[in-house]
Amino acid sequence: MFGESEPAFGSAAIVVQSMVYVFGCNLDGFAKPCRLARVPLADITHRRAWEFYGTSQKWQKDIESCQVVLNGNDMMSVSYNSYLERYLAVYSQPMSIGVMLRTAKKIEGPWSQPYKAFDAKEPVNAIGWIYDAMEHPEYAEKNDKLIYITYSRQTGPLAFEQRIVRITLKRP
């Protein structure tokens, strides 16, 4: 749906009422700046229906004016957390074992500074980092105060495991 020179939307998605919001996080040096697009759920396969959060802090049809709303990772999760009364982004810090959280009152942001929720269990590999940390809001407990996060780590040559961690959130 998007061209090779355009942001790669699909890093995280969330449905809010009848709209689908999709984050696209592309590699930029060691960072993964994320842009935001939206489309009515009923029109998700129609490219002309998509809008992009632009540099004027308004939704626009022009993908070229799409602005970065947060730094995250190319695989992450975004959900609305009832306990925090905010949107919650969860991702693995690029080239690290840190699992990061960010919050925002609105899906467009402004997003908080990153907060390290925990360090993941060290992988058994030469590069030394984990990947694809994501929250699973479908398993949250106590009105979203207890959340579950999974991540992947290498355990040997061509061997990987998916780990799950339960954390208790605290309000800011």
Would residue 31 count as lying in a domain?
yes
Q: Dump pLDDT digits (tens) for 58-100.
A: 999 999 989 999 999 999 999 999 999 999 999 999 989 999 9
Would residue 6 count as lying in a domain?
no
Q: Dump pLDDT digits (tens) for 107-149.
A: 999 999 999 999 999 888 767 789 899 999 999 999 999 999 9
Count the helices and strands in the chain (H runs, E runs): 0, 13
Would residue 4 count as lying in a domain?
no
Would residue 46 count as lying in a domain?
yes
Domains in the chain: how many in total? 1
Would residue 136 count as lying in a domain?
yes
Specify the CATH number for the domain of residue 138: 2.115.10.20
Would residue 2 count as lying in a domain?
no
| Domain interval for residue 33 | 12-168
Would residue 152 count as lying in a domain?
yes
User: Cα–chain-centroid distance for residue 144?
Assistant: 17
**CA dihedral for 31, 66, 111, 151, sign (positive or negative):** negative
20-44 burial by CB neighbour count: b if 16+ within 10 A, else e? bbbbbbbeeeeebbbbbbbbeeeeb
Would residue 74 count as lying in a domain?
yes
